[in-house]
Structure 1
Amino acid sequence: MVLLLAGTLMGLLTITSNIKSVQSKVAELERAERFRDVAVALKDGARNTVSTDAFRRKLAEARKCLDEYEAQLNETIRRQRDPENGSHEYALVEQLRQDFAAIDKGLVLLDTEPTEQVVYPRNAPEGPAQDLVTHTDELRERLYQHIKDIIRDAKVPYQWSLIIVISTSITGVCLMAGLLRFFYGWIFSPLRDLQQGAGRVAQGDFDRRIEVHSGDEMEELATAFNNMTSRLQEIYRNLEHQVNERSRQLVRSERLASVGFLAAGVSHEINNPLASIAFCSEALESRLAEVLAKAPNEGDVVKKYLRMIQQEAFRCKAITQRLLEFSRSAERRREATDLGELIQSVLDVVQHLQNSKGKQIVLEQAAPVVAWINAQEVKSVVLNLVVNALDSMDENGKLTITLRQRDRMAEMVFADTGCGMSGEILENIFEPFFTRSRTGKGTGLGLSISHRVVSQHGGEIEATSAGLNQGSTFTVRLPLHAAEEQGLGVRGQGLEVRDQGREGQGLEPDKGTEPRSKRMAA
């Protein structure tokens, strides 16, 4: 019985020691995962255009996470829960410190830049940031391997315990059989599940969950392992979503660039005949005195038609000029503009449209909101959203426009009671040439151009809808001050279009032209 008791106690002590070691390594692994998240964000910041202050904050956060991991590693060593005394882990921590030193060297180049923003890869290599992620992955894999080694090595004491128990239980076979059954259910089954689960996760099966209901450290370990697996699964899903989103943005940018080239070509071809028409009409008008002397009753009619020819020719010329401006993406002047007055000026024009009859438009504004914008371009965005809302609503529909200031941004919310949008439409609503029109008109460019105008102002536009026949809400946010533009150019928009994803007309005509009935050129 003494040998039986000694063997049992030895096995229990070994189990407890191994469980505590695994718990410590899991705690290290959790901190390593948090450090990796920050390292990945730091690497992404090194690839993109960021402010040096933002990059340094991320760098400081990464250092803090590394310090937390090293503190946990020291705690593991202090409690003698690592047979190797953390030799590999300390080596990787030292390597990560060297990566930080390399990044600090690269940041010295950023201090020589005269502007508020710089492109990191132009001034220092992004290699140290990539090395930081690589060494973090090595650290994580080392911890995974260490956990599996602990679990594997834990079997040896169990086997020795069984040998001792069997050798001393010749007279108590029945009792020993019960003890073996108890040991298997309490120890081996959870360890096997943990080992299999760790192997499946290492192979990329993040849907696997370990079920242990022992009510002790094994169950806590399984729960911690499952939480870690869920976190990894969430990270990979988020990365996949970001890749898809960046791909859609790239396609959108390429298609808008194609529109610019098309606009430039069309404008160049049309300008020459328009100039001839305008010149001939002016020459005719200067020679009318002699002709009208012979037919005085026809003078007013002839002058009227000549003026119409001139007006329409110059109007077309202005449109083609704005097409050229659109293709060149030239900078245009911005100034402080009262957004409430801007919206009201659009509503004064919209109320004469045929599709506004029987529909209500309400402007809600608690206080004046002034933003640093190009008024004509933002007016085209407001006009596009208002006309889209009117086209989407039946008679007795209501459009509510809310203007307010929030977090140093001007916010305009356009909420209608119209036909709403499905998930598919919401996903592609700002794509060029995407259209789901109720009227069957338009090119599908209105909202993509509006998105471009808002982005060039340093703002954002967002579309939401509860579903079909549930209405839609468009939210436009623009910086209040010029300092927040951060060098973004304002590009002229000269197109007059109607978008059919949310139908609407696009941009301003020349000032001297009267709007025609049942359409609006704005």
Structure 2
Amino acid sequence: MRSRRAEPAGRNREGVPVARPRRLRSKLLLGLGLMVGSVGLLLGGTLYGIRAYYTTVRVTERKMYELQLANILIETLKGADAAEPTVEALQAVEAHLSIFREEQERSVSAGLDPDAGDQERGLLDQLARDVQQLQWLLHELKSSPRLLPDGRSEPLGQHPPLRTLFDRARRSAEHLRLAIIHDIESSTRQANRTIRQSQWVVALAATWAVVLVLTLLYYFRVWMFAPIRQLQAGVQRVHAGDFSQPICLHSGDELQELADEFNAMTARLAAVYADLARQVDERSRQLVRSERMVSVGFLAAGVAHEINNPLASILFCAEALERRLKDLIPADISSSPLPASASPLPPPAAEDREVIIRYLSMIQQEALRCKEITQKLLDFSRSGERQREPTDLAGLIRGVLEMVRHLPHCRGKQIVFEPSEYVVAPVHAQDLKSVVLNLVVNALESMDEGGRLTITLAARGDWAEMTFSDTGCGMTPEVLANLFEPFFTKSRTGKGTGLGLFISHQIIDQHGGTITASSPGPGRGSTFTVRLPLRPVTAGSETPAASRTPTLPAVRLASAA
């Protein structure tokens, strides 16, 4: 019933390479790894989009600040571009330019400038050069002013070179502001692209996660849920008392090993239940035998003596009548000393004389048979605990076989005794001899000429075991079921009383042992197994198969009789 456990990876018992079994933890780790990968991909795509958005916000904030500085710089430059520009105004422009340069370098170092400040740096350098030239030209013009034709000094703001430099500086400042706006737009476009990529990644990851979850749910149902349901159904069947249907799993993992172990446990439990049922049946039979034995004890103690007296009278009268008839009616009528006319009855014919003699012999034989039965009943009812002594069982069996070899049933049949060792057990020798004799005689009667009876003797742990195996007529299951019942006989000679095996069973039972019979079927021989304890059995102890049948009521009645 138990299925073979899956072989480990590598090679099987025949040395053939086999695939590594899918362990349940490997399946769970695979599913967990795929789920973690899907969640990681989903989380990575989301974080990627969030990071792009956060970077764009920071770049925008930084560029907006730079844009404010650029506007201030432009306004300062416009203030310096007056009718009479001053050196102080240009110095203010230069100071704002330095502040802008520092903030722009901070943006570049923080990574918040899309083009790393290349465009702003060129415009700042150009603007710084224009401011320096304006300062130099303004200083020159103030040191040597130009006079108009009317003798007045020409306004500095109207000086063409100075005007050209102011226009170029203002254009550079405007280009700087446009560069900042371009950086904001470029950062926004880059962020939009990144966010779209993140959305695609998140969408693909979400789709993959949904497909993966559905797939894992299917395989978990195949790997875990369905096997667990089968295990649960198997446990419920066992709980209901059904041990005939094992759990069939082919998952190749720990659940299959669990199912195999559960099947093995169920097989052992079924064997235990079967053994318990056998013991209950045996105990029931023992109880029936006990009740019958009590009845036999009552019958033997109350009626045996009353039956023996009429049987003795019948036997005596039959013997006396046979002698009288032989004297009055000799075998040869002509040789009778009395004349025919002197006899009050006509002489019987020769065939009538033989019939009368045969019937009188049958009356005597049946009376003796009834007396033998009542004597067995009396002996059985008077049986009780007897003194047991350590006895050589092999010698006891040999003594019985020496006596049996002279019986007519032994002719043409072979008896083989094979003791495997020297075995001594505490038994009552005479009772055990009667058991061995009864088993040997029954075996000989069941075999035809040329049959073989094999007797073995061995020690099995704390028990002495004797087996009697014959090649006789065998037994049916019905005969085996009632073999040790009183008055049950299937003797081929038809002369058995049905008490031999019953009394043998009681003797072995009183010794604390067991006697069992088995047969493959009619015509295939029989085997009787006798087990006796090698140590003395204390009163009240039980035999291995069932408790011993009580005999106290029969003993008390027999004693009273």
* Shorter-chain TM band: 0.3 to 0.5
Alignment TM-score, normalising by the size of structure 2: 0.44
Alignment TM-score, normalising by the size of structure 1: 0.47
Larger radius of gyration between Structure 1 and Structure 2: 2
